[in-house]
Amino acid sequence: MVSGQLFHFRKHSWPPDEYVTRATLQLLDFDGGAPPEQAWRRRLNSHANLLKEFSVTFMEAIRMIRLGVRLWSYVREEASHGRKAPIDPFTREKCRPSASHGVPLGGMGSGSISRGFRGEFKHWQIIPNSCEASPLMTNQFSIFINRDGGQKKFSSVLSPGHHEGLGKSQEDDISSWGWNLSGQHSTYHALFPRAWTVYDGEPDPELKISCRQISPFIPHNYRESSLPTSVFVYTLVNTGKERAKVSLLLTWANSIGGVSHLSGNHSNEPFRGEDGVAGVLLHHKTAKDNPPVTFAIAACETQNVSVTVLPSFGLSKENCITARDMWATMVENGHFDQDNFSAGHSMPSSPGDTLCAAVSASTWVEPHGKCTVAFALAWASPKVKFKKGCTYNRRYTKFYGTSKNSAAALAHHALMSYKWWEEEIEKWQKPILSDERLPEWYKFTLFNELYFLVAGGTLWTDGESPSSDDNPPEEKPSSGSKHNRKSAKTSISSKSSKRGVPAELTPAAAAGVDPEAAEESVDSDLMNSWSFARPTAEGDDVGRFLYLEGTEYVMWCTYDVHFYASFALLDLFPKIELSIQRDFARAVLCEDRRRVKFLADGNSGMRKVRGAVPHDLGMHDPWHEMNAYNIHDTSRWKDLNPKFVLQVYRDFAATGDDTFGREVWPAVTAAMDYMDQFDRDGDGLIENDGFPDQTYDAWTVHGVSAYCGCLWLAALQAAVAMALRLGDHPFADKCRSKLLMAKPSFEEKVWNGSYFNYDSGSYGNSRSIQADQLAGQWYTAAAGLPPLFDEAKIRSTLQKIFDFNVMKVGGGRMGAVNGMTPSGKVDESCMQSREIWTGVTYGVAATMLHAGMHHQAFSTAEGIFTAGWSEEGFGYWFQTPEAWTVDGHYRSLIYMRPLAIWGMQWALTPSRAILEAPKTNMMDRIYTSPADLRAKNEASVRKIGGSRSTCCGHSVFHCEC
């Protein structure tokens, strides 16, 4: 843990009074209107520059040409079936990425909408696996101010300037609105899950305005954090000598962007609810047979605030009420007719028309007076449907049902609850924000990187079986397959060895399985009962959670990346983290014998091999069809199984949940036993196979590697510790014996006196300095286990990484480059060796913190802030990519791995369970008599095995543990 005054980094690097005058901050300092001292800031007139996308070099392109051809063919094939490929480097977004993002809206797992720092609503992810990046510029807040009996009037959209194409539109569309805000005196302040926009005298010099955006992201609250809603609270301060009538306006298009934007058959209806909540419901009929979506825009009427609505208007002359008419009414009156509340359902929109709605909230602000006006946005999308799978209910429906009209109830709840939300958010954030030992940039970057848990394509179901009226489509056999549809189902063996996986089952053996044996398949009902096994611990049923690797790499819960990101979930939503681990534990013990073509080498193999940890939980049919990733055969990857064991043990140790430990233990032992096939010389150490068989899937490895070897040593140690905790002493001894052999062999083969070589081969990059070489040691420390190596080796390695991979790249202001040659040049043997991976940099910094190297840790991580988040950086805020190059070209925006910054926080404040856990020297043998050993073994069978139905949840396979 961190103690004392350790950090000497700059303080107050983002002083708020450099963005907003101190006088304005004091005026707004009531009812939460003033932004916090620690926040990410940007002026609204800041230029949102276009981002520079990554490209491969000529030689890299030559080396990958065969992969490129196969990938192109695969993308085309998936498109012919109406599906998106999980990796598609050929299709470009219509809206080019720019440095314009801000805090996203809503809770987790019910779809998300991002909001740029200049106020535009964009990046729509309501439909799974679909992201519409372009903003809908109709969706705006606007203000209308009337002073001195109408002698002074101000009206403006509260978003600066014109946007591309605005002036080219028809005269009756939104180009007729008052786009008068310059943004010079307006600023954005972000501290996820809240954001503040302060208008310091714009558009009225005598009116100070703060818009506070609040979403229900509340750690350890598994109800509120699932709700698809946000609140916008306007604080108004009148510094003038006259009363001011102020009308705030929220306009919204009946659209989620994309194909259904102009498809027609959308409708709106006004509503009045309890407690003065009133607004409009916008019913949207989606395209491609996706479930419908209903939006609610609402405001809260109080004694001082009057709410009116315009249920529908359009953007062309063909509409009865146009955008121009709507704006003119607000300029003239500052409100709409009260009779509009009785308008009922609008006529369905015609194809080609954009149907919009508006809610106005009006109030009088006395001279030197203050007032608060609150709006809510909610959306009801109760069902989620996958292309090849079933339909599920989202988590929030457990509390609000599946009615489309629940959007109104959600908006009401948000307006009644946002003050409580803020209290809970502040209680969570205050200890970190007030910690004087921490650099200021770290505090707000730590919270703001959590944007991904909302905007990263998260999906949270109620945990129930899929809807019975939605059957998966008939699946055609793959080309050359001899299996019928029945045998194409995911196969789960009814027989298993003591550890839950046949010792003889290797990828090679599995590939040659007898076709008749494939008929031993579980039918669909049994598969559902397996896949949707409920947690055995009471109170742990938090549904099932998925999140994408990234918005460009569209795979659910990519496990090798979750290894880095999972610290955020473990710290803030541990029950979700355990739920994900249960999903993977069940997956380890099943197999899917359908054939898949792997694009890197063109060979075919099983989709999922028993005993191997899957790369991901799928894409178009998650949980049922895993391993959407098909570049390499990940059953031969060397990092997935050790990462599973390490994550399970860390979570087990951190939560102290023995029930969870017993549930997943058969999968842990199976995952460890599966790796025996990769120890080809019997020294207890696994070897890589001369291809990129790891998370660095373009970086070839030969022999023993620093990265996978270190992970394997750590997994052996974690397996020993977990086995001892659960009473499985024979398995503990087995793993300890391997560890006793493997550790000296590892050091002999890759330790060179100052760091661990990239691998034990004799290739040009074998002696490269890999930034991530101590990933296993990171997890060892994070789980409270003894270090893998002596302190001198650990510190020497980390110092080498700091001196070379960090400080020799951009003067330490870019993060840690993945590979660096001993001569001090970037390793350019492949595209990934020359990249800086943001999440890996955070992981390296966390490892340094565990080793007591605090200066190096924060200097390393600050490079990601400087390059990605600061004003002089590349503009990657709220869309942190997987990687960038030394010249600032990004690869894969909005990526999971940067959540690893919470690994740093875990190092600073480890859980009590880990701090208080007894320390065990894994290298010591336990000497017991044969009788004692038999007694312990029998006890462990009773304790771990119990009945067959409880060894791994309510699974349908049979374990003889």
Are 535 and 582 spatial neighbours (Cβ–Cβ below 8 Å)? Answer: yes
Buried (b) or exposed (e) across 854-870, using 16+ Cβ within 10 A? Answer: bebbbbbbbbbbbbbbb
Q: How many CB atoms lie within 10 A of CB 942?
A: 9
Which three-class secondary structure string do you get for 398-420?
HHHCCCCCHHHHHHHHHHHHHHH
Close Cβ partners of 205 (under 8 Å, ≥ 6 residues apart): none
Residue 544 backbone dihedrals phi, psi, to 5 degrees: -125, 140
Instruction: Return the structure tokens found at 856.
Output: 């190096």
Compute the distance between CA of residue 439 and CA of residue 130 in angstroms, rounded to an integer.
37
Instruction: Return the structure tokens found at 649.
Output: 């043990």
Question: How distant is the alpha carbon of residue 868 from its chain centre?
Answer: 17
Compute the distance between CA of residue 5 and CA of residue 839 in angstroms, rounded to an integer.
26
Residues in the chain, pLDDT under 50: 1-12, 165, 168-171, 468-533, 536, 538, 925-961
Adjacent-strand bridge partners of 267: 283
> Where are any strands of DSSP class E within 88-172?
112-115, 121-125, 140-147, 152-157
* Sequential DSSP letters for 737-751: HHHHHHHHHHHHHHB
pLDDT 10s digits, 521-562: 333 333 333 443 455 454 568 999 999 999 999 999 999 999
pLDDT at residue 918, as a whole number: 67
Instruction: Return the structure tokens found at 72.
Output: 């192109």
Close Cβ partners of 589 (under 8 Å, ≥ 6 residues apart): 492, 496, 500, 501, 610, 611, 666, 667, 670, 952, 955, 957, 959
Compute the distance between CA of residue 887 and CA of residue 51 in angstroms, rounded to an integer.
12
Are 215 and 228 spatial neighbours (Cβ–Cβ below 8 Å)? Answer: no
Are 281 and 380 spatial neighbours (Cβ–Cβ below 8 Å)? Answer: no
pLDDT at residue 504, as a whole number: 30
Are 71 and 908 spatial neighbours (Cβ–Cβ below 8 Å)? Answer: no
> Where are any strands of DSSP class E within 105-228?
112-115, 121-125, 140-147, 152-157, 186-191, 194-200, 207-214
Cis bond upstream, residue 193 (ω within 30):
yes
Close Cβ partners of 591 (under 8 Å, ≥ 6 residues apart): 490, 491, 492, 493, 510, 606, 608, 609, 610
Are 822 and 805 spatial neighbours (Cβ–Cβ below 8 Å)? Answer: no
Instruction: Return the structure tokens found at 29.
Output: 């300092």
Question: How distant is the alpha carbon of residue 591 from its chain centre?
Answer: 27
Cis bond upstream, residue 291 (ω within 30):
no
The DSSP element (H or E) to which 306 belongs, if any, is strand 305-313
pLDDT at residue 907, as a whole number: 97
Query: SS3 of 663, please?
Result: helix
The residue among 252, 275, 220, 309 whose CA lies nearest residue 105 is 252
pLDDT at residue 14, as a whole number: 65
The DSSP element (H or E) to which 640 belongs, if any, is helix 640-655
The residue among 431, 703, 677, 666 whose CA lies nearest residue 571 is 431
Cα angle for residues 16, 17, 18 (degrees, 5° grid): 90
Close Cβ partners of 539 (under 8 Å, ≥ 6 residues apart): none
Class of residue 481 by CB neighbours under 10 A (exposed 0-12, middle 13-18, buried 19+): middle
What are the domain boundaries of the chain? 22-51+96-163+172-433, 545-927
The residue among 106, 135, 104 whose CA lies nearest residue 379 is 106
**Dihedral (Cα; 666, 672, 674, 676), 10-degree rounding:** -140
Strands 194-200 and 769-770 turn out to be unpaired
Are 306 and 278 spatial neighbours (Cβ–Cβ below 8 Å)? Answer: no
In CATH terms, 545-927 corresponds, of 3.40.50.2300, 1.25.40.10, 1.50.10.10, 1.10.3720.10, to 1.50.10.10
- Give the global pTM: 0.89
Query: SS3 of 696, please?
Result: coil
Q: How many residues are recorded in the chain?
A: 961
Task: Using the structure block, give the residue that is written with the tokens 């990933």.
Answer: 775
